[in-house]
Structure 1
């Protein structure tokens, strides 16, 4: 992250805090009735953000600043959310405050865990693994056979264009109301991104490298394992990170069309009908945490396995 970007982020953080104080002064003053903690928090956050922006002139804290700045801005957004909702007395049914969402989240951990297990563990992960694995194997087969490339690529494009709201009811009729139908929807959603990215990665090897492997009389398998597959790893990880979020979205949306009495999609649709908006936001929070954690875990694995790739070295600068 460049020094100019960090300085801009720091000044933006300070501007957000000042805007929050202006909104407080023009309100009824009841925003901070719970205590002075809400006043001290934005001041400390803004000071830290400005400090990070100024320190961006030095290359020493680059990685720490890259982590701290998003955290600080997240805290600022939550604070402004709390200030605006409380100061303007926004009804809870329209937008609950972060404190209300947090209280509901803590008070409903048992229910949220059951929903998380049903949607993420039983539906999203199996569908993610099957869809990504099938897409990768199909990419290798297409790369090996031009005939399959002419036949399977158009079919894969057609499948990827199918809307999830049309696929989900069909899968439920085929596989039932339990997690199997949701996993099938996830398989359909994650297959094509892996297929396209893996194909692009397998074709990324340069002509000189391929000529070198031919000069060694390397077979297709040896060329694939020692040259083309390692070079395709950044493309494959891009597809995995994309599929990690698509899998959770697909599983949640599929649950709107039929599911047992638990699941994140079921919880959202049920609690919206009951006007329990804080529970809806608590479920969204669980989904956001799960998706971000999955993406972050895959990013760490990518960094550990493709540290030698030029794209990773450029990203660390």
Structure 2
């Protein structure tokens, strides 16, 4: 049911009940339960689903999914592949988000070199590709109202000392920051756990690079699924790296599914972030335990539970 029709129907039902002499306690309880079931109340934090998260409930069209996300209480989205969408589609997404008062989360600065040895080498060809993609990303961000863009520096270069590789990455990130900073955009460097070949592995290592770049446009993307796998100790590391963390992503471990499916106490982590004053997006970069509409409903229920920290 459309949100406006639901509200209209709810108002008419309330008027009818009053005309009959008032709403009973049981009817009030039923109304409260119905409101909760729709998920119409916004979450305490800006959790951001992806294209496809609610395809069974809302259909294949991403715009329809965004509307559905809004009706369930979500106020942000993520789209890693935004850079590859047609410009007209990027604008439609941005316009809809603006209309609904929703935030656009990260998209990936995808140079085509993110998953191979590239920026760590210091080779100009990789740096040039990175700079070119950063410039393209600025235009994409303007169309879809994005503020953050994910950067992955690629794999280790086994032929170079670690200090040289780190210096090469810092040099490339400074070039990227120079492009993003005039536009108020932030590239968020993401340490990952997918393969040991990746150069960025921990938040502490990324903190060091951000400190060296010295730009408000070069910060950390703290993906809690990857950090749980690589390091653990999630809350203390958040506190240690806090001044350089600009973006957070979610995924329970093991399995990379919704909160409550693994070992991470997300209710405590969300409460900790809330108390620290985090107002940014929390990207839902994970799968779900269930399937179909039932799985999507269970996903929302899991987030309602983890979000009930107040």
Which of the five TM-score ranges fits, normalised by the shorter chain? under 0.3
- Normalising by structure 2, report the TM-score: 0.23
Bigger relative contact order (CA 8 A; separation at least 6): 1
Larger-Rg structure: 1
Query: Relative to total residues, which structure has the larger strand share, 1 or 2?
Result: 2
- Normalising by structure 1, report the TM-score: 0.22
Query: Relative to total residues, which structure has the larger helix share, 1 or 2?
Result: 1
